[in-house]
Each structure stands twice: as structure tokens, then as C-alpha cells.
């Protein structure tokens, strides 16, 4: 060890000496002595390592040491899971948490979480109740279903339904619907995991009713239909409508199971998207059990919703697997509040963030992009800012081949590549996630709240000044 290194190490204050610092004494009101001591030890150990590696050639002054311990506390306190600003224009961004709850519903969830609740308590009778009871009548009203059940997510809903209905039996399904949804959720694997056997029929692009009817036999437990969600067969293709499949299934004394993926309560043609039946319509077509996600186009919390005939859903309620897949109170709180909005479709579109974002016209996006652009120019006069048309996405595996015409505020800064600006914004105190297009950083306004505009301006000004 070099002479001056040894010298520096000797000059480092002792733990006990640092603990006497008035700045640290102040914190003792909020933090235990042992936590403070741990912080001081860790900071000193870090300094020792830096000095030994010759990354540091001086001993910090006492104020600087106070600051280092304070910074250490801040880092410790900061949580890994945090809010980010979604400027990508993808509404149901799977990596950014899929759908967003409204502020009001978020508050309600917080209240339920931070308080005791009647989760499993029947307030009328004064005895044990069921957590599943809270959503029964609302879901029945909205879907017209005879019975309903809610589990942790749609993957769990599919697993529970199949395990309960087709264990040890054959599930007849089209080859065009044996899809992988993402995150290793593959329909054939789920059928196998549930103890059923896949009986695939038809071809990748075309499946006819006769393919199904030929495959149905003694060992058949159900016919299954799966929404291909994030994948589409176009051109020379054909599939059998749910109504015809239901007639076939019922003629053979079998149920028709339909995994919808993104369940809809509103006709998406309202937003200029192609027609897809709502959950209510799908049930009317004769499907016996239908399942869908709470946090796709429904715009609620992560959940799997199962609706359909009581004769199939009642056994699921008794199934031991249900306990492993059950929803918690925060999910139930968010889902009930979200579903309640759907009793009035216009209210739902006004209040549910995913639907609000869908409803934004390109004209409205342009107006908001102009506002953001102007704010950015004011925040940093050196920035180059323009508004550009962009194609936004629904996301979450919905409408994969469809884009929504929107607008972005595009930012460039001299001497800084858009990729570098994008990287710095990702590391900001409140990370801003945005796309780079032709060396411009594009902030699509479709997925932004107005109250995020000032924050974005601050973070961009900071990011540009960083260099
Ligand atoms: C998204 C999706 C699932 C999985 O739903 P999660 O809520 O993500 O578990 C299952 N099936 C289909 C058809 C889907 O689109």
C-alpha cells in the first residue's frame, strides 16, 4: 500500500466520531440509532474502498460526509417500483403496467388497503361473508351472465376453468387458435397443465364447423375458442363463429369455452376501431363460459373475470385451485369501482383512463401536443421542438395490426443524440419513457396526463443540462 493511501485511510473519521455530528443527531428523531450507525459504517466502507482503488485521493470534509450519509438514506428509501411517465403512445403498455386506474379509484384502493374492510364479512348478517360476493350482481348486470367469478388474472381464469371443466378429457380447439399470448402463456401448455388433452382440428389458416364436429367424441370435455389477440391470420383464412360452435357443442351436450383475452363492455367502433363483440354479446351467442382480463381494454386492475352458466362456474367456486388464484382486496376494490362506471357507458369513457386515451381524436392530440411543445420551448429556449403526427398503439395484445393516429411533441437538443436524451430521461427522478424517431425524441401525448406536462419539461431541461 502506498504511503499516501495509508495516510488517507488514517484520516477517515471513526464511526463514533461521525455519529456525534449534529446533522446525524437530528435524524435520530426519525431513524433508529442502529440504522444510522449502519449507514455511517457503509458510507465509510465505501470511502475506504475508493481510496484503496485510488478512485479518491482526499478525505471528504465533514459537511460532505453528512451529505453522503443523507444521500445513502435517500437511496435506501427510494423504492424500486415507481411511477413513470408513459410518453410512448401505447395505451396498454405491458412493460409499464398495462392499464391505469383513475385517480379517484386509486384513492379508493388506497383507503381499502390502509383500513379494515368487509372483505369477507357480511355486514347485514354479522357473520362470515364471501370476497366474491361484492362483484356478483354488478358483473351479472353488465354481462347478463348467470354466474361470475373473479381470479388473479386471465391466465388463472383459463387454468381454473379448464382444470375444473375438462381435466382428464379432450379439449377440441382449432389449430389457428393454439397461440402464445406472451410471457410464456401458451394455450396448448395451459390445456396440458390443467390435465386435459388437446384435440386440435382444422389448419392454421382455416377451420370449418365439420372439423369440430368430426373431432367431438366420447372423451370430449369441451370445445374451446381462443381470441388470437396479438396475432392475426389475414388473407385466405376462415374460422367458425361462436354461435355455430355453440350450437354444435350444445347438440353434443358439451360446453363452449371462450377465452376472449381483452373483454369489452363498450363497442370499440366508437373509437374508430374494428368491431368486436362485447362480453354480453359473446354470451348471447351461446358461449357457456367466457373469460377475460381486468386490465386490458376494460381498463381496470389485473384480474381474470369468468362469466357464464352457473352449472360450470359453481364447481369452480368449490375448486381447491381457487384459493391459489384468488384476488386480493385491492384488486376487488379497483375492479368494483371500475365496473360500476360501466353502468353508464358515457361515464365509463369519461372516467376510465384507458378509454379516455382511446377516445382522443387526432385533432385533440394535436392541440395537446402544441401545448406541450410550447411549454418545452419556454422551459428551455435552446431546445428544438416541433409537433409531429405519430401512430399510437392500443397495446396489451389488442388490435395488433391497428394504429391510432395521434400527435407527439418531438424534441432535439444540439450536441445530444436523441438516443442519449432518451437514456437520460429513463434515468430521471421520475423516469420518462419515450420513443426515438429519426433522431427526434417523440413524446406522444395520447398516453400523457395534462398534469404530467410540467414534470416532463423539468426532467427534459435537467436531462439536457446534465452533459
Ligand atoms: C392476455 C390474454 C390472456 C392472459 O391474460 P392475463 O390477464 O394477462 O393473464 C389469455 N388469453 C388471451 C386470449 C389473452 O389475450
Residue at a domain's end among 351, 375, 408: 351
Asked if residues 47 and 60 have their Cβ atoms less than 8 Å apart, the reply is yes
Measured CA to CA in angstroms, residue 258 lies from 34, 73, 253, 398, 418 at distances of 57, 51, 16, 16, 45
The verdict on 289 and 421 lying in the same domain is no
Q: How many separate domains does the chain show? A: 3
Residue at a domain's end among 333, 351, 369: 351
pLDDT of residue 25: 76
Domain of 320, CATH number, reads 3.40.640.10
Question: How far is 46 from 68, CA to CA, in rounded Å?
Answer: 10
Question: How far is 142 from 124, CA to CA, in rounded Å?
Answer: 24
Which residues sit opposite 180 in a β-bridge?
186
The verdict on 414 and 293 lying in the same domain is no
Q: Which of 99, 153, 185, 306 to mutate to test the pocket of ligand 1 (most atoms within 8 A of CB)?
A: 185
Residue numbers in the chain where pLDDT is lower than 70: 467
The verdict on 278 and 141 lying in the same domain is yes
CA 269, 349, 333: angle at the middle one, nearest 5? 125
Query: What is the whole-number distance in angstroms between the Cα of residue 408 and the centre of ligand 1?
Result: 30
pLDDT of residue 467: 63
Question: How far is 18 from 21, CA to CA, in rounded Å?
Answer: 5
Ligand 1 atom 1, closest CA: 261
Domain of 427, CATH number, reads 3.90.1150.180
258 lines ligand 1 (CB under 6 A): no
Question: How far is 280 from 140, CA to CA, in rounded Å?
Answer: 10
pLDDT of residue 392: 98
Burial 145-167 (b: 16+ CB within 10 A, else e): bbbbbbbbbbbbbbbbbbbbbbe
Asked if residues 23 and 66 have their Cβ atoms less than 8 Å apart, the reply is yes
The verdict on 446 and 318 lying in the same domain is no
Residue of 161, 163, 426, 446 lying closest to 307 (CA atoms): 161
226 lines ligand 1 (CB under 6 A): yes
Q: Which domain holds residue 39?
A: 3-77
By percentage, how much of the chain surpasses pLDDT 70? Answer: 100
392 lines ligand 1 (CB under 6 A): no
SS3 60: coil
Tens digit of each residue's pLDDT (9 = 90 or more) over 87-120: 999 999 999 999 999 999 999 999 999 999 999 9
Question: How far is 341 from 145, CA to CA, in rounded Å?
Answer: 18
* Ligand 1 atom with least separation from CA of 230: 15
H/E stretch holding 354: helix 353-359
Please state the pTM of the whole predicted model. Answer: 0.89
Question: How far is 86 from 444, CA to CA, in rounded Å?
Answer: 9
Amino acid at each position: 500500500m502506498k504511503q499516501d493511501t495509508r495516510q488517507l485511510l488514517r484520516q477517515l473519521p471513526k464511526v463514533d466520531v461521525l455519529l456525534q455530528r449534529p446533522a446525524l443527531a437530528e435524524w435520530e428523531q426519525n431513524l433508529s440509532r442502529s440504522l444510522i450507525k449502519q449507514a455511517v459504517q457503509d458510507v465509510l466502507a465505501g470511502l475506504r474502498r475508493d481510496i484503496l482503488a485510488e478512485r479518491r485521493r482526499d478525505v471528504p470534509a465533514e459537511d460532505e460526509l453528512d451529505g453522503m450519509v443523507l444521500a445513502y438514506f435517500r437511496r435506501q428509501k427510494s423504492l424500486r417500483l415507481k411511477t413513470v411517465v408513459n410518453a410512448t403512445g401505447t395505451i396498454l403498455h405491458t412493460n409499464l403496467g398495462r392499464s391505469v386506474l383513475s385517480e379517484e379509484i386509486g384513492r379508493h384502493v388506497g383507503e381499502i388497503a390502509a383500513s379494515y374492510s368487509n372483505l369477507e364479512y357480511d355486514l347485514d348478517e354479522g357473520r362470515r361473508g364471501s370476497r366474491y360476493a361484492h362483484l356478483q350482481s354488478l358483473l351479472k348486470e353488465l354481462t347478463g351472465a348467470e354466474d361470475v367469478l373473479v381470479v388473479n388474472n386471465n391466465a388463472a381464469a383459463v387454468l381454473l376453468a379448464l382444470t375444473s371443466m375438462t381435466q382428464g378429457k379432450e379439449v377440441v380447439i382449432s389449430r389457428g387458435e393454439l397461440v402464445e399470448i406472451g410471457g410464456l402463456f401458451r394455450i396448448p401448455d395451459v390445456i396440458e397443465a390443467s390435465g386435459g388433452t388437446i384435440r386440435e382440428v382444422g389448419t392454421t389458416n382455416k377451420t370449418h364447423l365439420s372439423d369440430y364436429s368430426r373431432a367431438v367424441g366420447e372423451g370430449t370435455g369441451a370445445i374451446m375458442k381462443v381470441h388470437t389477440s396479438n396475432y392475426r391470420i389475414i388473407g385466405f383464412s376462415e374460422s367458425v363463429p361462436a354461435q355455430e360452435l355453440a350450437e354444435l357443442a350444445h347438440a353434443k351436450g358439451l360446453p363452449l369455452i371462450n377465452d376472449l383475452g381483452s373483454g369489452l363492455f363498450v363497442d370499440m367502433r366508437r373509437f374508430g376501431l374494428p368491431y368486436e363483440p362485447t362480453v354480453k354479446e359473446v354470451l348471447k351467442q351461446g358461449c357457456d363460459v367466457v373469460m377475460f382480463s381486468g386490465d386490458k381494454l376494460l381498463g381496470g386492475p389485473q384480474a381474470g373475470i369468468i362469466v357464464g352458466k352457473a352449472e360450470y362456474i359453481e364447481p369452480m367456486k368449490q375448486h381447491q385451485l381457487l384459493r391459489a388464484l384468488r384476488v386480493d382486496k385491492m384488486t376487488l376494490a379497483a375492479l368494483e369501482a371500475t365496473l360500476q362506471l360501466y353502468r353508464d357507458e358515457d361515464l365509463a369513457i369519461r372516467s376510465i383512463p384507458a378509454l379516455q386515451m382511446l377516445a382522443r381524436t387526432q385533432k385533440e392530440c394535436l392541440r395537446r401536443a402544441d401545448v406541450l411543445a410550447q411549454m418545452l420551448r419556454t422551459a428551455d429556449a435552446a431546445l428544438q421542438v416541433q409537433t409531429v403526427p405519430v401512430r399510437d398503439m392500443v397495446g396489451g395484445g389488442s388490435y395488433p395490426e391497428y394504429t391510432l393516429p395521434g400527435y407527439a411533441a418531438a424534441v432535439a437538443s444540439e450536441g445530444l443524440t436523441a438516443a442519449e436524451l432518451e437514456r437520460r430521461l429513463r434515468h430521471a427522478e421520475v423516469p420518462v419513457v419515450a420513443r426515438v424517431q429519426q433522431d427526434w425524441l417523440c413524446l406522444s401525448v395520447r398516453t400523457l396526463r395534462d398534469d404530467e406536462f410540467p414534470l416532463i419539461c423539468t426532467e427534459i431541461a435537467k436531462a439536457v443540462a446534465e452533459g
